[in-house]
Amino acid sequence: MMKQRTYFAYGSNLNVEDWNRSFPQGPTHAEAFRAVGPAWLPDVRVAFTMESFTRRGGVLDLLPWTGSAVPGMLYEVTEAGWKALEAKEGASTAYQRVACTALDEHGAEILALTYIVRPERRVDFVRPSDAYRDLVCEGFEQNELEFDHVLRAARNEPSESGPGQVFVYDRLMRLEADHGLLVEHGLESALLAEAPGRLMEVKEGPVMVLSKRPRSWVHGELVRCRKLPALLGALDMGEGFECFGRAHGVRRRAIVQVGMMDGHVRLAWTYLRTRAPRGARVVLGGDWRLHRGIRRGFLEQLVQSYAQGDEAGLARALVARQLFPPADEERAVRELLLLAEALERQVVSERELAQIVAGRSAGVGPQPHALS
């Protein structure tokens, strides 16, 4: 008898109606599953690799792919639910149940079970029927999850999903010692950002630690690189990170919510620790640049790289793009100057500066990784 254990669903089992049609005598989806919440399965992508006569075409599978993370839902499953899952997935001939480690958007790891196509049944690609593709997408919609990766996989196109960027807060930031590694891997953008957590200092440098304290932030940068899988491979090696769900080195790779300091939130990979290492010291303010007394100087250089000698003009453009224009525009402009102070107070974000500069130059001139 199987004990209740967490299940990660990434395909048709997200769709309540499809499940209930499969089991008219029960258990219903509500009787079989209790939703825990959304999560991501790391370093895999979806693909249609097995033909199903019942579904009249290809059905979903998971394949290894560093840097991709498949969205889905975590469920607690009843005993009757597990029996139904085994029957629905054809566990002895079609799919096999495997242990996995899912990630939530707060940096946590959750041990779970999921189903993948049995290796002997797997082929390169089987086009799914429109009906099956659509019911899978409807399941994602029912759980308010993105499903573009499913549509791309159905067309046999690259189906990577999940965070396409990395949150860095240490020597990988601009003007820091290891920033060149990002450039080597095709740096496309770098923007000031912050993520929930505590910043601690150890002998090797700063380390981000998960924190349950409200309003505890680590300040850094959100970066995007063309060669993301290769970059994560290099960072994994440097951190001594081998795989999810096991004991790790100094830091482990996780998914976190990243704030752009203007209300916008993104998902990103980062490296952190679940607990503070012994002997670590708290970095007040959660900012490695501030800790070393170079934050203000960096912000001034950053503003100069965007303003190109016309800081007032940049401030005026910021005011002009506000949703509700101020009654006194010139006063609003004066209040933004100096822009380095405005960035420090988070009155404006670097993301906004980058958008203005890109708009002025039709997306050609200074890229949002100034100072790289």
Task: Give me the DSSP letters along 101-152.
Answer: EEE-TBS-EEEEEEEEE-GGG--S--PPPHHHHHHHHHHHHHTT---HHHHH
Question: What's the distance, Cα to Cα, between the start and end of the chain in Å?
Answer: 58
- Token pair in block for residue 252: 């482990």
pLDDT of residue 274: 84
Round to whole Å and give the CA distance between 120 and 74: 27
Return the CATH number of the domain spanning residue range 6-154.
Answer: 3.10.490.10
Do the Cβ atoms of 330 and 324 come closer than 8 Å? no
* Buried/exposed code over 140-174 (b: 16+ C-beta within 10 A; e: otherwise): beebebebebbebbbeeeebbbbbbbbbbbbebbb
Round to whole Å and give the CA distance between 314 and 356: 8
Round to whole Å and give the CA distance between 46 and 69: 9
Would you list the domain boundaries of the chain? Answer: 6-154, 163-291, 294-372
Which residues are within 8 A (CB) of 315 and not within 5 positions of it... i.e. 6 or more apart? 333, 336, 337, 339, 342
pLDDT of residue 212: 74
pLDDT of residue 363: 42
pLDDT of residue 29: 97
Other C-beta atoms lying within 10 Å of the C-beta of residue 285: 14
pLDDT of residue 248: 56
Do the Cβ atoms of 236 and 250 come closer than 8 Å? no
Give the residue from 312, 218, 308 showing the smallest Cα distance to 271. Answer: 218
Between helices 311-320 and 350-360, what is the axis angle to 10°? Answer: 100
Asked if omega into 326 is within 30° of 0 (cis), the reply is: no
| Identity at 227, one-letter amino acid code | K
pLDDT digit string (tens) for the chain, length 372 residues: 445 579 999 999 999 999 999 999 999 999 999 999 999 999 999 999 999 999 999 999 999 999 999 999 999 999 999 999 999 998 789 999 999 999 998 889 999 999 999 999 999 999 999 999 999 999 999 999 999 999 999 999 999 999 999 999 999 999 999 999 999 999 999 999 999 999 999 988 999 998 877 779 999 999 999 999 999 999 999 988 888 987 655 689 999 999 998 889 999 999 998 888 888 999 989 999 999 999 999 999 999 999 999 999 998 988 888 877 787 888 888 888 889 999 999 989 999 999 999 876 544 434 555 676
pLDDT of residue 327: 77
Residue given tokens 């189903």 in the structure block: 115
Do the Cβ atoms of 314 and 349 come closer than 8 Å? no
Q: Is the pTM of this model over 0.85?
A: yes
In words, the CATH class of domain 163-291 is: alpha beta
For 209, how many CA atoms within 13 A lie in the half-sphere containing its CB? 19
Round to whole Å and give the CA distance between 294 and 314: 23
Asked whether this chain's domains 6-154 and 163-291 adopt the same fold, the reply is yes
pLDDT of residue 2: 46
For 265, how many CA atoms within 13 A lie in the half-sphere containing its CB? 7
Query: What string of DSSP letters covers 280-336?
Result: -EE-GGGBHHHHTT-HHHHHHHHHHHHHTT-HHHHHHHHHHT-SS--SSHHHHHHHH
